[in-house]
């Protein structure tokens, strides 16, 4: 056994769980495994008659944990012949969210009971489940009237993706499930409770990240929303509120120690400290080296855009972002979360649903190659990136896509590029919103598959956003962030770190490639963006900065100027 110390990061994503074993000294990932969930389509339980529904089977989370750990330990032994599980000093966990799970009196997910095994409502309500959109509207309306402060910290609108929208929708549409649930537990909290033997709802520790960003928890009003407020939505929510407690735990806190039982199942040493959970994007921010002035964009099917701001400095309530929560990303900082409801999913829609030119001609690779040859503005096309609604800054999941400027000669690659550009405009809109409220963004760090693999998209982002695009070194920034959380709860005594700054300095890094704005492209995008903003405000807010008729004509003028 060498002197190396390792931390284990578990990252529960939308379709799979990734597990990494990281060298605490330098962030080296010595073993990585990706385990796909087994239930449903790509791990998601769908309803063909209701596109809003997206659920997961909690049993997949457990199976994934065990299979993945076995693989990672086996890889670790191959990578380092001296490797011993005893060298693992901490465990961190991140998950998607808000992904609440209804659990029984003893903390068992209802989906694991025979009675509810086939009922999607008894399963985990995945972050992208939008069945509660009517309830979200109801919660927003009531909060606007009675507790506007609840909304101020989460962008001004309560989303259908969030905790209470989902629970209230279950209460309204499947009271049998609601009544059978003792309480509802976020996926992240369920995992840390399981590993530390605290699934009993009376012992459960709930993480600050999920509670603050998705459940209107804030120290100003002593935690979760008031009982009377929830009771006005439905009297039964008063009772639910009782089960939630008032205390939540930030990311630098320990959830507990690994139990004998799970140590045995996983082949680990009992007693390893387990950090409080957090959402994948927040720990992805940590793993990407987030700090003041650095926006971390985690680009996948959707994006999360993360920023931090010192907790002891003034910060306005930024309208339209998904939350401002003390300690949700880094202790001692406000964690600010924003995001786009679909990015990669829009490109996937075009390739998989529209299938331009058929499967061979219309692949991402083929379209990217052709789209790369187009100049900004050349197609005369302009799109809105709302095929899955708009998370930030409009917080409206029911918005839809728009494509404008088609002629009889418009090609698939032109549309593909217009969709990429639309997501870049959406990204710029978020950055502008941060800066309008004083959160200066001087640097953009990207991570996720698209950031790593698609230079065209990154170059367009640099050109549209007018800032350098950097790429985080790790391909698994969320899991790395979890491992960092594990190293911090272990502390320096155990060979870890006593604070995040030290841990990030040692364990994070950037790739060498930096995408810099090309001035002539940026110049065209500076003409195009105001047109996007005009459509954005007209269709998103009903407000206009000019005549809509100009949008089509100005696009053609830009097209002509690009040609010349």
- Residues found near a copy of itself in the complex (CB under 8 A): 51, 342, 345-346, 348-349, 353-362, 380, 387-388, 398-412, 415, 538-542, 544, 547-553, 555-556
Taking the least distance from each CB to a copy of itself, the nearer of 201 and 540 is 540
Shortest Cβ 551–a copy of itself spacing (Å): 7
Reading the block at residue 1, the tokens are 């056994």
- Residue among 375 and 516 whose Cβ is closer to a copy of itself: 375
What is the maximum span of the chain, computed from C-alpha positions, in angstroms? Answer: 72
Q: Which is nearer to a copy of itself, 92 or 320 (CB)?
A: 320
**Least distance in angstroms from the C-beta of 521 to a copy of itself:** 22
Cβ closer to a copy of itself: 313 or 359? 359
For the CB of residue 299, give the shortest distance to a copy of itself in the complex, in Å.
Answer: 16
Cβ-based nearer residue to a copy of itself, 406 or 526? 406
Q: Which residue in 454, 450, 452 sits closest to 475, CA to CA? A: 452
Smallest distance, a copy of itself to C-beta of residue 223, A: 35
In the complex with a copy of itself, the residue whose CB is nearer, 276 or 342, is 342
| Beta carbon nearer to a copy of itself, 493 or 564 | 564
Please, what is the minimum distance in Å from the beta carbon of residue 169 to a copy of itself?
Answer: 16
Q: How far is the CB of 520 from a copy of itself (least distance, A)?
A: 21
Cα separation, 156 vs 143, whole angstroms: 9
Cis geometry, peptide bond prior to residue 98 (ω within 30 degrees of 0): yes
Question: Which residue is listed with tokens 């070194």?
Answer: 473
Instruction: Find all residues with CB under 8 Å of 167, minimum gap 6, and list them.
Output: 100, 178, 184, 237, 240
CB of 454 to a copy of itself, least distance (A): 19
Cβ nearer to a copy of itself, comparing 331 with 401: 401
Nearer to a copy of itself, 514 or 552 (CB): 552
Burial of 452 per CB tally in 10 Å (0-12, 13-18, 19+): middle
Smallest distance, Å, CB 133 to a copy of itself?
10
> What sign results for the dihedral spanned by CA atoms 276, 279, 281, 282?
negative
> Taking the C-alpha atoms of 459, 462, 463 and 464 in order, what is their torsion angle to the nearest 10 degrees?
120
Nearer to a copy of itself (CB atom), residue 22 or residue 555? 555
Number of C-beta neighbours around residue 50 at 10 A: 12
Q: Which residues contact 372 (CB under 8 A, 6 or more apart)?
A: 456
- Contact status, residue 266 vs residue 282, Cβ threshold 8 Å: no
Cα(383)–Cα(415) distance, integer angstroms: 8
Question: Which residues make Cβ contacts (< 8 Å) with residue 549, sequence separation at least 6?
Answer: none
DSSP, collapsed to helix, strand or coil, labels residue 294 as strand
Cα 299 to its chain centre, rounded Å, is 9
Nearer to a copy of itself, 51 or 203 (CB): 51
CB 415, min distance to a copy of itself, A: 8
- Residue among 1 and 360 whose Cβ is closer to a copy of itself: 360
Round to whole Å and give the CA distance between 96 and 209: 11
Is residue 383 within 8 Å of residue 422, measured between CB atoms?
A: yes
On whether the CB atoms of residues 377 and 561 are closer than 8 A, the answer is yes
CB-based contact 429:423 (threshold 8 Å) = no
To 10 degrees, the CA torsion angle through 477, 58, 124, 172? -170
For the bound state, the minimum distance from the C-beta of residue 563 to a copy of itself, rounded and expressed in Å, comes to: 8
Give me the helix-helix angle, 500-507 and 280-287, nearest 10°: 70
* CB of 38 vs a copy of itself, minimal distance in Å: 23
Q: Compute the Cα dihedral for 134, 140, 142, 145 and give only its sign.
A: negative
CB 490 to a copy of itself: min, Å: 41
Least separation in angstroms between residue 407's CB and a copy of itself is 5
Three-class DSSP labels, 105-145: CCCCEHHHCHHHCCCHHHCEECCCCCCCHHHHHHHHHHHHH
Cα separation of 466 and 522, whole Å? 6
Q: Is 350:416 a contact under the CB 8 Å cutoff?
A: yes
> Looking at beta carbons only, is 380 or 517 nearer to a copy of itself?
380
């Amino acid at each position: 056994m060498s002197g190396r110390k390792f931390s284990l990061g578990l990252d529960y994503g939308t379709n799979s769980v990734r597990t990494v074993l990281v060298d605490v000294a330098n962030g080296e990932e010595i073993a990585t495994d990706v385990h796909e969930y087994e239930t449903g389509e790509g791990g998601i339980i769908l309803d063909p008659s209701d596109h809003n529904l997206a659920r997961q089977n909690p049993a997949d989370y457990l199976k994934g944990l065990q299979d993945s750990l076995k693989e990672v330990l086996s890889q670790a032994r191959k990578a380092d012949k001296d490797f011993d599980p005893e060298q693992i000093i901490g465990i961190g966990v991140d998950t998607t969210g808000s992904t609440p799970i209804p659990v029984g009196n003893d903390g068992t997910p209802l989906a694991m009971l025979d009675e509810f095994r086939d009922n999607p409502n008894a399963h985990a309500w995945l972050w992208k489940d939008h069945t509660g959109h009517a309830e979200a509207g109801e919660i927003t309306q009531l909060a606007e009237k009675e507790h506007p402060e609840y909304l101020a910290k989460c962008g001004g609108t309560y989303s259908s993706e969030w905790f209470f929208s989902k629970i209230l929708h279950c209460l309204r549409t499947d009271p049998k499930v609601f009544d059978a649930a003792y309480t509802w537990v976020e996926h992240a909290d369920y995992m840390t409770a399981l590993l530390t033997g605290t699934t009993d709802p009376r012992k459960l520790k709930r993480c600050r990240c999920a509670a603050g960003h998705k459940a209107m928890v804030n120290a100003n009003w002593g935690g979760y929303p008031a009982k009377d407020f929830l009771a006005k939505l439905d009297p039964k929510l008063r009772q639910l509120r009782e089960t939630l407690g008032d205390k939540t735990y930030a990311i630098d806190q320990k959830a507990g120690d690994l139990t004998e039982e799970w140590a045995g199942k996983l082949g680990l040493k009992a007693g390893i400290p387990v950090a409080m959970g957090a959402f994948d994007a927040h720990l992805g921010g940590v793993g990407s080296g987030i700090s003041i002035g650095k926006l971390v964009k985690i680009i996948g099917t959707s994006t999360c855009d993360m920023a931090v701001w010192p907790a002891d400095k003034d910060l306005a309530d930024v309208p339209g972002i998904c939350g401002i929560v003390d300690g949700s990303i880094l202790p001692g900082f406000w964690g600010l979360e924003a995001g786009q409801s679909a990015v990669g999913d829009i490109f996937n829609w075009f390739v998989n649903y529209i299938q331009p030119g058929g499967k061979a001609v219309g692949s991402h690779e083929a379209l990217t190659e052709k789209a790369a040859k187009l100049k900004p503005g050349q197609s005369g096309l302009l799109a809105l990136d709302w095929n899955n609604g708009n998370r930030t800054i409009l917080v409206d999941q029911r918005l839809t896509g728009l494509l404008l400027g088609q002629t009889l000669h418009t090609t698939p690659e032109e549309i593909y590029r217009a969709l990429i550009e639309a997501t870049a405009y959406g990204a710029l809109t978020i950055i502008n919103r941060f800066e309008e409220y004083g959160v200066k963004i001087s640097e953009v760090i990207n991570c996720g598959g698209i950031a790593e693999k698609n230079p065209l998209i990154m170059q367009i982002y640099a050109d549209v956003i007018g800032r350098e695009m950097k790429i985080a070194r790790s391909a698994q920034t969320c899991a790395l962030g979890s491992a960092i959380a594990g190293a911090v709860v272990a502390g320096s005594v155990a060979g870890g770190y006593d604070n995040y700054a030290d841990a990030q300095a040692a364990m994070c890094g950037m790739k060498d490639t930096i995408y810099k704005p090309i001035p002539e492209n940026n110049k065209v995008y500076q003409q195009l963006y105001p047109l996007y903003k005009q459509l954005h405000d007209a269709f998103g807010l009903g407000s206009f900065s000019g005549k809509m008729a100009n949008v089509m004509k100005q696009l053609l003028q830009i097209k002509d100027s690009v040609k010349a």
